[in-house]
Amino acid sequence: MSKQGPSVGDEVLCCSPVVREPLDAEQAGTLARVFKAIGEPVRLRLLSLIASHAGGEACVCDLTGAFELSGPTISHHLKVLREAGVIEGERRGTWIYYRVRPDTLRLLSDSLAPALDVAETA
Amino acid sequence: MSKQGPSVGDEVLCCSPVVREPLDAEQAGTLARVFKAIGEPVRLRLLSLIASHAGGEACVCDLTGAFELSGPTISHHLKVLREAGVIEGERRGTWIYYRVRPDTLRLLSDSLAPALDVAETA
């Protein structure tokens, strides 16, 4: 299940320092897709719930109680997060267990961070 | 023009460690709004262009050449970024000069980063 570096579908996410040099259209498209996936309140809460859950993983059965949403709706949001490379799932028995992909989160975090020094001293 | 800490409109963005503990609905809504704003390729490129521009600021006149988009479309995207608290603008003479808000970028970056250690050692 593990891949070489963060990826979204077939596209490899490269370490784009958003604030250091201009992103090209392709980099921006790939990175924007991931930000868009987490740019939705329910998905951001799901990400947060999964990441902070005991053992760093959670199944849908652990997640539905936090929302007044149907199981299929929760599953749809999990699919969007999974397709964006933010979480990954593994079936064990009846349930799929989800965990965050730290490589993707680190890349997103780093893509916004390094330019800060530039911006703050400009 | 400077405010106390990152904010989106009237809402103050608080330092939510997305991955350390579950976000509540209000925190998720506020943070998701900012991620959604940068989750669009043109806006991400605008952010990147502004941040990496000489002196850390740029006017619309510096930005339109990079896109095959009309001035009003560029201005619309800049407005979305500004309303999300990601950039700020200051009118000087004919032009409004935009620069990134490092406080907001740092908050976004930090909100994804701290949980990484948790996730990676889980």
The reply to whether residue A116 touches residue B110, judged by beta carbons under 8 angstroms, is: no
The reply to whether residue A108 touches residue B110, judged by beta carbons under 8 angstroms, is: no
State the nearest Cα–Cα gap between B45 and chain A, in angstroms: 6
At residue A12, the pLDDT reads 54
Residues of chain A neighbouring B26 (CB-CB closer than 8 A): none
Give one DSSP letter per residue of A9-26, joined into a string.
TTEEPP---TTTSPPPHH
Any domain includes A5? no
- Which residues does A70 contact at the CB level (< 8 Å), separation at least 6? none
| Residue-wise pLDDT tens digits, B19-60 | 778 888 999 999 999 999 999 999 999 999 999 898 889 999
Any domain includes B120? no
- Mean pLDDT value of segment A69-77: 93
At residue A122, the pLDDT reads 44
Any domain includes B4? no
Q: Total domain count for chain B?
A: 1
- Mean pLDDT value of segment A41-64: 92
At residue A99, the pLDDT reads 95
Asked if the interface predicted TM-score (ipTM) of this complex is over 0.85, the answer is no
Average pLDDT, chain B: 84
Any domain includes B75? yes
R_g (Cα) of chain A, nearest Å: 16
Which tokens sit at A74? 């929760």
Structural domain range at position A88: 23-111
Residues of chain A neighbouring B84 (CB-CB closer than 8 A): none
Average pLDDT, chain A: 84
At residue B118, the pLDDT reads 45
Work out how many CB contacts closer than 8 A connect A with B: 159
- In whole angstroms, give the CA distance from residue A71 to residue A61: 9
Any domain includes B1? no
At residue B4, the pLDDT reads 47
- Evaluate whether B71 touches A58 at the Cβ level (below 8 Å): no
Give one DSSP letter per residue of B39-51, joined into a string.
SSHHHHHHHHHHH
- Mean pLDDT value of segment B84-98: 95
Closest CA in chain A for residue B56: A122
Residue A40: give its domain's CATH number.
1.10.10.10
Any domain includes A4? no
Task: Give the predicted TM-score (pTM) of the model.
Answer: 0.84
| Residue-wise pLDDT tens digits, A97-111 | 999 999 999 889 988
At residue A21, the pLDDT reads 83
- Tell whether B42 is within 8 A of chain A (Cβ): yes
The reply to whether residue A113 touches residue B109, judged by beta carbons under 8 angstroms, is: yes
- Which residues does A72 contact at the CB level (< 8 Å), separation at least 6? none
- Mean pLDDT value of segment B73-100: 95
- Tell whether A15 is within 8 A of chain B (Cβ): no
At residue B6, the pLDDT reads 61
The DSSP secondary-structure symbol of B16 reads -
Any domain includes A119? no
Any domain includes A17? no
The reply to whether residue A38 touches residue B34, judged by beta carbons under 8 angstroms, is: no
Residue A2 has pLDDT above 50, yes or no: no
**At residue B71, what are phi and psi to the nearest 5 degrees?**
-55, -50
The reply to whether residue A38 touches residue B35, judged by beta carbons under 8 angstroms, is: yes
- In whole angstroms, give the CA distance from residue A118 to residue B80: 23
At residue A8, the pLDDT reads 59
- Mean pLDDT value of segment B101-121: 74
